[in-house]
């Protein structure tokens, strides 16, 4: 069975930087599950998985534009937000990663400067602007249910839980 739109795909991955160092991996954990063809996955990863079969293992190196995007210049990437909207720690210092809930979902940011009530954050993802290599193993795939297609995401293990 080849991976195509409207399928729930499960995969394991290891993410490596330009030097080949491991940045993150789901090795030994549940596979990632997503609804293929519904913009639920980085475009480069989804395109690489498209047409593959269960059990296929492959490596793909992707430009920044197909993963976390190109870096936006500091002047455009720095935004001020209320400290109460930062998630991840109780005391903030420059260089720390935080999560901010937005209208488009959660967004990872980096603290640039912090005051008592407000913080300046860099909205670039920490991996933006970098060429990244993914070792991927497709471990499962099935046709999505009508409900999953209507909701626009995968349900169940590795997916969204209502």
H or E element at residue 48: helix 43-49
Residue 160: the pLDDT is 63
Residue 23: the pLDDT is 96
Sign of CA dihedral 12, 18, 19, 24: negative
Q: What is the residue-level pLDDT of the chain in tens, covering all 162 positions? A: 899 999 999 999 999 999 999 999 999 999 999 999 999 999 999 999 999 999 999 999 999 999 999 999 878 899 999 999 999 898 999 999 999 988 878 889 999 999 999 999 999 998 999 999 999 999 999 999 999 999 988 887 766 655
pTM of the model: 0.82
Closest CA to 17 of 129, 139, 138, 98: 129
Per-residue CA distances from 88 to 7, 111, 121 (Å): 33, 11, 14
What is the DSSP code (8-state) at residue 91?
S
Q: Is residue 37 a contact partner of residue 154, using CB atoms and an 8 Å limit?
A: no
């Amino acid at each position: 069975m080849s991976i195509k739109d409207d399928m729930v795909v499960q995969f394991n991955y290891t993410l490596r930087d330009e030097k080949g160092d491991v940045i993150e991996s789901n090795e030994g954990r549940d596979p990632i599950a997503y609804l293929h063809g519904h913009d639920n996955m980085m475009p480069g990863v989804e395109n690489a998985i498209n047409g593959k079969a269960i059990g296929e293992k492959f490596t793909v190196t992707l430009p920044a534009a197909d993963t976390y995007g190109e870096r936006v210049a500091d002047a455009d990437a720095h935004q001020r937000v209320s400290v109460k909207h930062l998630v991840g720690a109780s005391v903030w210092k420059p260089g720390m990663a935080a999560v901010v809930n937005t209208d488009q979902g959660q967004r990872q940011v980096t603290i640039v400067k912090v005051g008592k009530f407000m913080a300046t954050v860099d909205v670039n993802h920490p991996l933006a602007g970098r060429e990244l290599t993914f070792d991927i193993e497709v471990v499962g795939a099935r046709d999505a249910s009508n409900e999953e297609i209507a909701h626009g995401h995968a349900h169940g293990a590795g997916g969204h839980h209502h």
